[in-house]
Structure 1
Amino acid sequence: MTRRARRARAARIAHRLAGVATAASLGALPGLAMHRTSAQAKEAPLAMHCAEFAGAVLSPELIALPTAGAQIESAAMIGATAPGNQQGGEYCRITGRIKALNATTPDIRFDLNLPRRWNGRALQIGGGGYNGVVVSGTGVMPFSPDRAPLAQGYATFGDDSGHVGDSSLAVFGLVDEAVTNFGYAHLKKTHDVALALIERAYGSLPQRMYFAGGSTGGREGYTVMQRFPDDYDGVIANSPALNFSGVRLIGVKLGQAEYGKPGGFVPPALLERVYQRTLAVCDKLDGVADGIVSDVAACRAHEAEIIDSLRCAAPESTYAPSHASSPASSHAASYTSSYTSPRGECLTDAQLATLFVMRDGLSLPYRLAWGVKGYRGYNVFQGTHLTGTLGLAHEPRRLPAPTFRANGYLFAQGDGYLRYFVARDADFDSLAFDPQRPGRYRAQLVALSRTIGSMNPDLSRYISHGGKLITVQGLADEVISPNQTIAYYEALVARFGADQVNGFMRLYMVPGFQHGNGVFIPSVDLLGALDNWVTRGAAPETLIATDIAAETNGRSRPLCRYPGFPRYIGKGNVNLASSFACAEP
């Protein structure tokens, strides 16, 4: 999009939002001092009119998607020295809710923060899991070493996606409008309300509009590029749950392998053995033993060797991976899995079969939205640690309502998805469901994959107006498969060509990084890199990340553009990025 076209788009948005700032819409915002003109509002100190937002009502016409309008609940200046304010300056904090069309649908609660010293930019921040908690927008961005965006002068905002509850609760899946809000609508509704208030507070719209989020927030980042491409100039979308239905269905398959088949449960001690064996074989493949499997491709070449060294001697049976296994039989209602292995030092075929389900991914004989036919598998034998809270099950008995630690994150989330989003039956038994043959639930699965998923590869409109994208994900991620993210990137290259993709996207796959944890947790200023790219045309290349993992805090590594990875150059301090160079697999 040309500069002239961008100005015209901003003018159209300003015209649509003018009802917030002019006397022509006295009924729209009764709580504001409507005698001020936009020019006067821009000149006036923010503190003089922050409190006047309290109680204001925004009309539905200001929001592009259908709502019953928005209500501002509170507005107050937060002083630079106020308790809890670590942002380094004053800001106006506004809280409110966007009303649903249906009275039984929860409102979308949102927070907006307006710094006294505004840099002319705005940042919308995504959520996590099933959301349900308002994103405050006041803190430091995850894995960022610098000051919070608010402290840098960004107007920041976030929401709860339209329901209340912690990130593990999927009960809102019973409500159609809440599902649509969670899938995509909350993003646009909150965006439009925030921009209306920003324009009213400062007298102008943001010069740049960014989005940042990880996991569900990463999916939301891809969602805004796909559905609302003209609204954003840049996106940071990390560890994105792009194929939302796919990751939930593979979670169900994992639960069936662990609890629906005899001996399928893999105790944490054996999961630890798998991890340590992988390190013993693969850690040094990048030139140094540093506790990180960096050369995943080379490690994969040793996978058969690793598996053979872990397998219990059982000549009477051999496991062959299959993508079309049958659902758990109904007699497995006890939800208990027995397991035995000699001295607990090796894995039985049943236990390996569980790990192979995660490694091989999910293949479907039908298509989800955008032609998706399954979910890519994980790097199970390439340095992924599966004993943490977000890993596989810790208990051999399935709880009636599975929890992350007891029954595994992927299964617990998949179980809730089936109960409330798909079957819409709280008593539905996910162990008796066959993702390959969903029967009467197939149409619902396909519809949900379009409402919530972000697998549409058509980013042409976002690319055409100069939008930029940075994605970071761990190669050892145990929640969102790194191979699914890579597959989407490769689909973009197939569609647009490498040169065009390189012109708008950067993908960094991080060795040793899991889902917010791991043996290497990168800290890097992604927002600064994005802003430099958007405003100055300085495309990021190799970045330097500082490790913030507790045991290795302070060491550094290069973040290499995919498909590169950091390889030790053979000399120098192994804790310094300068001792590594980006290498191709």
Structure 2
Amino acid sequence: MPHTRLVRSSLTVGSALALAAAALVAGQAPATAAPTTVAPTTAALAAAPAATVACSSLVGLKIPAHRIGLPTTGAEVTAATSMPASGTGPTAIPAYCRADIAIHPVDPAAPDIRMGLALPEGWNGRTMMFGGGGYNGTVPNLAQNVPFGPVDQRTPLGRGYATYASDSGHQADTTRHPIASLDGWFGQNDEALRNFSGDALKKVHDTARFVITKAFGRGPATTYFAGGSTGGREALAVAQRWPRDFDGVISAYPAWNAATLDLFFGRITHEFAKPGAFPSKVQQDLVAQRVLAACDGDDGLEDGVISDEAGCDFDPETLLCGEGETPGATCLAREQVDAIVAADGSWRLPYRVASGERGYPGFPLLSGARMSTPILGFGTTAPADPMPVTAGYGMQFWNQWVKYFITRDPQISPFAIDPADPGEWQRRISELTALQDVNDADLRPFARAGGRLILIHGAADELVSHRSTIDYYQRVQRVMGKRATEEFSRFYLVPGANHANFAPVAYSASYDSLTALEGWAERGVAPENQVVADGNAGAGRTRPLCAWPTWPAYVAGPASEASSFRCEM
């Protein structure tokens, strides 16, 4: 790693696995297993469709613990299924073998790491590891696109990548929480918590590499990682902790300072739970409408997108009800405005934590982000104890963090801990920041190894602030210097894009970051003059993808074409 050329596989999944079948079945049994399994004969392999027989022969493959870079008790393929080709055009997926794998913990009380691996026919020699989301807990879709990926291009698996992903070391249960990614029960176990915080990434990568090498007779030529939100944190974690494992990384809207973000979630939980502070959905929409009316045209074009988010100067006092007005569809109460200002504003921690983080910069609610986005927004019900499932995603995230990560007491109230004055829990919070804040800005080892990073964030994100990503990127620049940083990384903000393109969204980011990353990592062609399309149905518009700190300003010409804009500071 890195690789200067891509060697394409001449083996299909069926033929590659058939050639390796005897080694897989007979040579990898554990020392305690009884009696040794005999590999199928050549005649037996030829008697049935090769892909089916070869794929099924993966079942029982053992991955020794010493082949995994962090402590485990080994891993094994628990199931293998031949999947037929499907789809056409951008949705086309080749036939592939799906292997389900369990990585076993050292602590017998900890859950397995469950992972999936897709081995496609006509493998192109590349691999893609996907990150997760929220508290993880489920194995992501192996046929998915990269975050903010292009709607008119094939996904990595569709392009012939071997893809893999995991639940990060625990299995969510929707009987505990109806939204799987909000089930934080695993935080009660130290090994499961370490796996979620990053250790599972190394274990899954090494396990996947072992199985891929056995299946195809050689290792991958080029390796990539892509993830958003928690997955974006994971993307930065692999670049920081294992700089030689991946040739290229796509980190989208990364929750890199996860524990500090949790503390900010706690802050807004307390703020919006105050009497009269929670705005209704109608009022949340009103805030977004007023902000858009004030700042939409600042970029030279009224198109429903605030391009210069940092330049949006909206006065929240204009939201207040006047004399004789009742808070509702046309105005807000003082308590509501104060809570929104608190959520939008920068917050400084009044005590030191082990990760070194000092606070959180707030969400851009008064410069383009919508509070009322379903699921990922601020919810339709004020936070309370017990926490309603209709409360904001971040507020529910805090509730789980308090119960399972900090106190490990499922019965405790989310209001029992004040994030600004946690008392007896301050030491535990500090420990969690050291574990969960992935904030090492020294990416020189990754850059020296030839690694390439594409960092991308929506400027209207209501769940993970793009301001925080700006903070991290500035730290990298301070450590490495601006020129050295530009030699291996790009950071793009997408005006109008929210968290994970969750509908409704003003600008649904559709950008072919993977092709750009391939060209950079494999051929040394750095991304230049990039374009991001609006993936909303019927939108039919493009914008230049401006490297931070620039943003797209309208100059002249058709408003739907990127050529009518230029990147300005």
Q: Does 1:355 align with 2:361?
A: no
Counterpart for residue 540 of structure 1: 527
Matches within 5 A, 1:409-424: 409-424=393-408
Which amino acid letter does the alignment assign opposite residue 192 of structure 1? D
Counterpart for residue 312 of structure 1: 321
Q: Does 1:62 align with 2:67?
A: yes
CA distance in 2, matches of 1:293, 1:158: 35
Counterpart for residue 393 of structure 1: 379
Over residues 324-366 of structure 1, what are the superposed CA-to-partner deviations in whole Å (9 max), with x where a residue is unaligned? xxxxxxxxxxxxxxxx944552222211111122112321122
Q: Does 1:476 align with 2:490?
A: no
Deviation of 1:278 (Å): 0.9
Counterpart for residue 442 of structure 2: 458
Identify which of 113, 117, 123 aligns with 1:118.
123
Q: Does 1:228 align with 2:213?
A: no
Matches within 5 A, 1:80-91: 80=85, 87-91=92-96
Matches within 5 A, 1:325-404: 341-342=326-327, 344-389=329-374, 390-396=376-382, 398=384, 400-403=386-389
* Partners of 1:31 and 1:53 within 8 A in 2: no
CA distance in 2, matches of 1:32, 1:70: 21
Shift of the 501–61 alpha-carbon distance from structure 1 to 2, 3 Å rule, reads: same
Residue aligned with 2:163, SS: strand
Residue aligned with 2:456, SS: strand
Structure 1 residue runs without a partner (length 5+): 5-19, 37-44, 316-339
Identify which of 76, 80, 83 aligns with 1:78.
83
Deviation of 1:35 (Å): 10
Equivalent pairs counted in the alignment come to: 529
Counterpart for residue 140 of structure 1: 145
Residue aligned with 1:393, SS: coil
Deviation of 1:386 (Å): 0.7
Counterpart for residue 572 of structure 1: 557
Counterpart for residue 251 of structure 2: 237
* Partners of 2:267 and 2:420 within 8 A in 1: no
Aligned residues with identical type, % of pairs: 37
Q: TM-score, normalised by structure 1?
A: 0.85
Which amino acid letter does the alignment assign opposite residue 383 of structure 1? G
* Partners of 2:3 and 2:221 within 8 A in 1: no
CA distance in 2, matches of 1:383, 1:397: 23
Deviation of 1:3 (Å): 7.2
* Partners of 1:161 and 1:182 within 8 A in 2: yes
CA distance in 2, matches of 1:397, 1:220: 29
Deviation of 1:51 (Å): 2.2
Counterpart for residue 17 of structure 1: none
Over residues 472-529 of structure 1, what are the superposed CA-to-partner deviations in whole Å (9 max), with x where a residue is unaligned? 1111100001100100000111111100110111111111011023200111111111
Deviation of 1:297 (Å): 2.5
Counterpart for residue 15 of structure 2: none
Counterpart for residue 8 of structure 2: none
Counterpart for residue 276 of structure 1: 289
Deviation of 1:466 (Å): 1.2
* Partners of 1:213 and 1:238 within 8 A in 2: yes
Counterpart for residue 97 of structure 2: 92
CA distance in 1, matches of 2:524, 2:87: 38
* Partners of 1:23 and 1:34 within 8 A in 2: no
* Partners of 2:102 and 2:115 within 8 A in 1: yes
Which amino acid letter does the alignment assign opposite residue 295 of structure 1? D
Shift of the 359–88 alpha-carbon distance from structure 1 to 2, 3 Å rule, reads: closer
Counterpart for residue 265 of structure 2: 251
* Partners of 2:283 and 2:328 within 8 A in 1: no
Deviation of 1:265 (Å): 1.3
Identify which of 540, 545, 549 aligns with 1:554.
540
CA distance in 1, matches of 2:308, 2:536: 20
Which amino acid letter does the alignment assign opposite residue 164 of structure 2? F
Q: Does 1:295 align with 2:308?
A: yes
* Partners of 1:541 and 1:560 within 8 A in 2: no
* Partners of 1:287 and 1:567 within 8 A in 2: yes
CA distance in 1, matches of 2:444, 2:26: 39
Which amino acid letter does the alignment assign opposite residue 73 of structure 1? T
Shift of the 371–540 alpha-carbon distance from structure 1 to 2, 3 Å rule, reads: same
